[in-house]
Amino acid sequence: MQGIEWPKALGPVSTAIMIHLFNGFQNPFGGSERETLELYRLLSADSQVRLWATSSRVSEDLMQEFPIRRVSPATRNVPAGGTYVFLGAHWRNKMWPYLIPRPRRLIYVFNTFHPKIIALTTHRPRLLGWPGAELVLISDFQKRMLRVEGVVHPSPIDIERFSPRQARPNGPFTVGRLSRDMADKHHADDVALYKALLADGDAVRIQGGMPLKDRLAPHSQLELLPQGEFAAEQFLPTLDVFYYRTGSHVETFGRVVFEAMACGLPVVCHSHGGYADHIRHGENGFLFETTQQGARILAELKADPALRLAVGQKARRTVEQLFSPRAVQQRLDFYRR
């Protein structure tokens, strides 16, 4: 995966309980995959950690790049007890959990809004004999929506990969966004907004924009790029403003918004998502409800470069506080205890 560097251990690796991280590892650009790999990078500095693929459709690219193992009781390639952490993956309704050693702790990092999956995971069969699941949520927004108890850990992001951008050379005011190539990541009303920006002489740059190819006519200042064309830290600094709204998909956290903030970009986001709890409208970013509101904010930012700079600087400070060394260490200690 582009952009992830694996540092040498910070000290002697602990002989404490092994931590096993489970994920489907199907999409190299998926949020839960990136979250799992970043948690692995952080924990591996002074803990014994292993990666396990729970899906038969695991990405071969990820298998080649990272030390991911397939769970296989038949070949005795299984975790041998310790702490089992499932991130966006589910152990219920599978046979292999009955065939592997019992974990000392069972942690479930829940990054969606599906209460049925919580029920499947937290209510374990008696025959399994596993401990009760400890629930980790990735935003207060998600916790409010689901009305469940659990600790809240923001999805881990290595913000040092993202440097506040330097002054861009003269060129058109550029609005853009980054996501996977999924139709439900795009809001239907944004097509008209992009057309209006282009008609006004602005540039629109969208990575993960393949679902829009048939809805936006070719234009000299429109770029629709496939997911993964550039690493986030390469793509985001080419923008003046990061604009984000989704369709039927609701972001439980929205890590790409925080990556944009880490680049010192002013973010203009729909108000419904996990990221909204961390955006103070007009101070470190902007929130909108309607397309008209979003368009007005973009016009204001276009006309005022000083405002873009000031808001972007406060956005960067926000993520520095959210992912400070002390805050990250406290979250890691939860898994190590």
Could you give the CA distance from residue 314 to residue 108 in angstroms, rounded to a whole number? 33
Q: At which residue do the structure tokens 């991911």 appear?
A: 68
Classify 25 in phi/psi space as left (phi over 0), alpha (psi -120 to 50) or beta: left
* 90 and 132 share one domain: yes
**CATH number, domain containing residue 271:** 3.40.50.2000
Instruction: Render pLDDT for 26-71 as a digit per residue (tens, 0 to 9).
Output: 999 888 899 999 999 999 999 999 999 988 899 999 999 999 999 8
* 244 and 228 share one domain: yes
* Predicted confidence band of residue 143 (pLDDT cuts 50, 70, 90): very high
* 80 and 193 share one domain: no
> Of 141, 156, 171, which residue sits at a domain end?
156
Sort 325 into a burial class: Cβ within 10 Å, 0-12 / 13-18 / 19+. Answer: exposed
Instruction: Render pLDDT for 251-290 as a digit per residue (tens, 0 to 9).
Output: 999 999 999 999 999 999 999 999 999 999 999 999 999 9
**Count of Cβ atoms closer than 10 Å to residue 290 Cβ:** 10
Q: Of 215, 150, 209, 151, whose CA–CA distance to 181 is shortest?
A: 209
71: tokens are 């769970």
* 117 and 213 share one domain: no
**CATH number, domain containing residue 85:** 3.40.50
* 32 and 146 share one domain: yes
Q: At which residue do the structure tokens 């966006």 appear?
A: 88
User: What SS3 class is residue 37?
Assistant: helix
Residue 334, domain member (yes or no): no
pLDDT of residue 113: 80
pLDDT of residue 166: 73
* 212 and 228 share one domain: yes
* 182 and 245 share one domain: yes
Residue 4, domain member (yes or no): no
User: Average pLDDT of 179-202?
Assistant: 97
Residue 2, domain member (yes or no): no
Distances (CA, A) of 276 to 120, 142, 280, 297, 314: 29, 11, 8, 16, 15
Could you give the CA distance from residue 97 to residue 79 in angstroms, rounded to a whole number? 10
Q: Which of 118-122, 217-221, 231-235, 273-277 has the lowest mean pLDDT?
A: 118-122
Residue 328, domain member (yes or no): no
* 189 and 310 share one domain: yes
User: Average pLDDT of 214-233?
Assistant: 96
Residue 11 predicted with pLDDT over 60: no
pLDDT of residue 14: 41
Residue 92, domain member (yes or no): yes
pLDDT of residue 278: 98
Residue 45, domain member (yes or no): yes
Residue 252, domain member (yes or no): yes
Residue 315 belongs to domain spanning: 161-321
Residue 42, domain member (yes or no): yes
Count the domains in the chain.
2
* 187 and 145 share one domain: no
